[in-house]
Amino acid sequence: MGGVWNGNSRFSRRTTLRFVAVDPNACVLVGAGQSIDRISRGESPTGPLELILEAVATADQNTSAKESVLPLLQSLRVVRSFGSTPHNFPQVIADTLGVQPTELVLSSHGGTMPQKFLADAALAMAKGSLDCVAIVGGERMAGVSAGVPEASTEQEDMGATRLFGDERTPLTRYELARGLRLPAFIYPLLETAYRARQGRTLSDHREVLGALWQHFAEVAASNPYAWIQSAPSAADIVTPGEANRMIAEPYTKTMVANLPVNQAACVIAMRYEAALAAGIPRDAMVFFHGHSVANDPWFVSNRLDLGRSIALEAASTTLFEYVNASSDDMGLIDLYSCFPVAVELSAQALGLSLHDPQRPLTLTGGLTFAGGPGNSYVLHSLAAMVASLREQREMRGLISGLSYFATSHSLGVYGTHPSNKAFASLDAQAVVDRADTKVVDESFVGSGTIETFTVTHARDTGPKAVIAAVTTPQGARCWSWTRDPEFAASVSGKDLLGVPCSVDAEGRLSLD
């Protein structure tokens, strides 16, 4: 067993060096690649298969091995796209690459899937049962409807494909009936609940959001794979206009995930001993130190505090205890950033500053500016982390993934130095399950107070509807959905937090 210098200082973001033997079954990221197709109007976009193949080729070259590592692939794992992904798409990719992995895997939906894929592979490596894996994903959503190359969806064509992850209904019938239908409507509700927790006014919080997203935009400006590199100012980001329409207050278009992109990414990971045998240079390796997961109460309605993530708190505590570190030790960070509140909830749980110029909370620029390629964004986080850690070798890095409505969480810690523990993927769900939940009164009619709210906007006609969580006199939560443009316009731009209100039998809101 070989050894390298490592360390675990709790008081420095750089690693304090000491000698640590390297586990031959440790999971190391050895190659990462990204691809992008910024089409001009009227051009035909590159298909997702071609984008993925380009990312795979780049990742293979990125290993710095003298020969391709693709013939060594034992597992090819494909992150499901937002489009129609045939079950045999992993086989299509393998056949096109000319490789014959013994395992083909297709994920379920969710932004946690890339890191969960990697953690699952790392566990197999820890057992000595897997030497080399490639995880790929891509989207073609700019210029055309999302889709993948023609491939049969018939069951008999699945071949060796294994399905990874569970598909769960993310919303109740009651939530759907009361307007909680889209991420762009639900995340603003979480944002306003977070603002209430911080005790900020609308204008003060708008400044915080603008500054946060401006910094993400500045990072994207220097990212060659970012979709938007124009670096808009904080004022431009938060101010509605013809090219920056309001989606759902307080979010404008440049504050939400940018889905219509053509992007793909690939990461290649190997068992340490196998990587050495393949001729991977030691300085190309990034170790996966540990991983943790937890879900907040699955349905938004049942969360006791909509401005807090107890799952992230539990997952981060569990992970940092295992890797003998804290958030202070994480010098490189990429937090999942589909909406600002996703970053805010993560930073709050992890004890991170939103505005530390020495430690930005993104390596890519985030899902608005770098791009939001469906379920695959964290593959781009991983690619950026590999590149950053190779340049700043004494740093350690943290990546978060998120699924649904800040519901399911995945955290991973990385470094160019090995851990002094075997890799573990830790489940902190028991901590969450012991916590209190909110009582929901689906039949409530009467007076209450507004807990959180958003005004949704139509593309061309402005305010359209109001969605609000209302606290009943008994302390339960009910939802109100008022589809009245005149009422929506009358409350647009106003702060309704804590305002007395009434909910009728149809779920419509009126202010008392």
What CATH number did the domain enclosing 386 receive? Answer: 3.40.47.10
The answer to whether the CB of 499 falls within 8 A of the CB of 449 is yes
Q: Number of structural domains, the chain?
A: 2
Structure-block tokens of residue 447: 């007076």
Q: How far apart are CA 385 and CA 362, in angstroms?
A: 10
116 contacts: CB under 8 Å, gap ≥ 6: 107, 164, 165, 291, 293, 401, 410
Q: Is the per-residue pLDDT at 8 higher than 80?
A: no
Q: Is the per-residue pLDDT at 11 higher than 70?
A: no
Q: Is 241 part of a structural domain of the chain?
A: no
Please give the pLDDT value at position 166.
84
Please give the pLDDT value at position 160.
61
Please give the pLDDT value at position 19.
56
Q: Do both 493 and 417 map to the same domain?
A: no
Q: Is 218 part of a structural domain of the chain?
A: no
Structure-block tokens of residue 353: 């500053």
Q: Do both 161 and 62 map to the same domain?
A: yes
Q: Is 181 part of a structural domain of the chain?
A: no
Q: Do both 264 and 130 map to the same domain?
A: yes
Q: How far apart are CA 436 and CA 302, in angstroms?
A: 9
pLDDT in tens, 368-414: 999 999 999 999 999 999 999 999 999 999 999 999 999 999 999 99
Q: Do both 373 and 501 map to the same domain?
A: no
> Of 433, 467, 485, which one is at a domain's C-terminal end?
433
Q: Is 252 part of a structural domain of the chain?
A: no
Q: Is 189 part of a structural domain of the chain?
A: no
pLDDT in tens, 243-284: 999 999 999 999 999 999 999 999 999 999 999 999 999 999
Please give the pLDDT value at position 13.
54
**Max intra-chain CA distance, the chain:** 73
Q: Is 474 part of a structural domain of the chain?
A: yes
Q: Do both 452 and 371 map to the same domain?
A: no
Q: Do both 155 and 55 map to the same domain?
A: yes
pLDDT in tens, 84-120: 677 889 999 999 999 999 999 999 999 999 999 999 9
Q: Do both 420 and 454 map to the same domain?
A: no
Please give the pLDDT value at position 150.
36
Q: Is 29 part of a structural domain of the chain?
A: yes
Q: Is 194 part of a structural domain of the chain?
A: no
pLDDT in tens, 439-493: 999 999 999 999 999 999 999 999 999 999 999 999 999 999 999 999 999 999 9
Question: Where in the sequence is the domain holding 499, given as residue range(s)?
Answer: 446-511
Q: Looking at residues 203-223, what average pLDDT do you find?
A: 98
**What is the 8-class DSSP label of residue 188?**
H
Q: How far apart are CA 288 and CA 300, in angstroms?
A: 31
Q: Do both 498 and 453 map to the same domain?
A: yes
Report which of 499, 494, 512 is spatially closest to residue 201, judged by C-alpha positions. 494
Residue that has been written with the tokens 């060659």 in this structure: 224
Residues in the chain, overall count: 512
> Of 403, 433, 463, which one is at a domain's C-terminal end?
433
> Of 406, 433, 460, which one is at a domain's C-terminal end?
433
Q: Do both 297 and 425 map to the same domain?
A: yes
Q: Is the dihedral of CA 43, 367, 468, 433 positive or negative?
A: positive
DSSP per position, 193-245:
HHHHHHT--HHHHHHHHHHHHHHHHHHHHT-TT-S--S---HHHHHS-BTTB-
Q: Do both 141 and 286 map to the same domain?
A: yes
Report which of 452, 443, 441 is spatially closest to residue 504, judged by C-alpha positions. 443
Q: What is the CATH number of the domain that holds 474?
A: 2.40.50.840
**Average per-residue pLDDT in the chain?**
92
Higher pLDDT, 109 or 149: 109
Q: Looking at residues 414-423, what average pLDDT do you find?
A: 95
The answer to whether the CB of 435 falls within 8 A of the CB of 429 is no
Q: Do both 274 and 371 map to the same domain?
A: yes
Q: Do both 160 and 273 map to the same domain?
A: yes
Say how many Å lie between the first and final Cα of the chain, rounded.
72
